[in-house]
Amino acid sequence: MLLIFLRAIILYTLVLLVMRCMGKREIGQLQPFELAISIMIADLAIIPMSELGTPIFYGVVPILALLVMHILISYINLKSIKFREFICGKPSILVYRGKIDEKVMKKENFTINELQERLRGNNIFDLGDVEYAILETSRTNYSYS
């Protein structure tokens, strides 16, 4: 029991340090690659934490490998616009000069109800008042004017 407790503390500390190295973002603002890495890290930590027959390094090494991958992808993201668009996507204009772009809405799986809800959340009740609405890559950030 004490061994499980110690393994849990070690892996928790490692996961906390790795997540801290990945940067400060809210879950809803994570890019897809960041979310995938976060989920994988959590999954990798649980196995050696709960199973005494599994060496703790079977969790530590892959978690550190994912940290290296995150750092590498983040660095390439900073240097290459094409890579960033491939990995993170690019913003989409949902409304331009008061007109909804149906093709973009369909492509982004974004409904008119969702758009209207977001507009109302920003005190915009008439679509004609919207010069443009941009769906950012995190799907939690929206720009309106």
CATH code of the domain covering residue 117: 3.30.240.20
Confidence band, pLDDT 50/70/90 cuts, at residue 143: low
What is the pLDDT averaged over residues 57-81? 90
pLDDT surpasses 90 at 79 = yes
Domain count, the chain: 2
Report helix angle 57-79 to 81-88, nearest 10: 130
pLDDT of residue 26: 60
What is the pLDDT averaged over residues 115-138? 85
Query: Which phi and psi angles does 101 have, rounded to 5°?
Result: -90, 100
Residues 6 and 70 in one domain: yes
Residues 8 and 69 in one domain: yes
What is the pLDDT averaged over residues 39-57? 88
pLDDT surpasses 80 at 47 = yes
Residues 61 and 109 in one domain: no
Instruction: Give residue 42's domain range.
Output: 2-87
Residues 57 and 27 in one domain: yes
Name, in order, each residue with C-beta under 8 angstroms of 53's C-beta and a sequence gap of 6 or more: none
Residues 82 and 15 in one domain: yes
pLDDT surpasses 90 at 103 = yes
Name, in order, each residue with C-beta under 8 angstroms of 32's C-beta and a sequence gap of 6 or more: 87, 88, 89
- Considering only 4-8, 33-37, 82-86, 98-102, which range has the smallest mean pLDDT? 33-37
Confidence band, pLDDT 50/70/90 cuts, at residue 85: confident
Residues 55 and 120 in one domain: no
pLDDT surpasses 80 at 141 = no
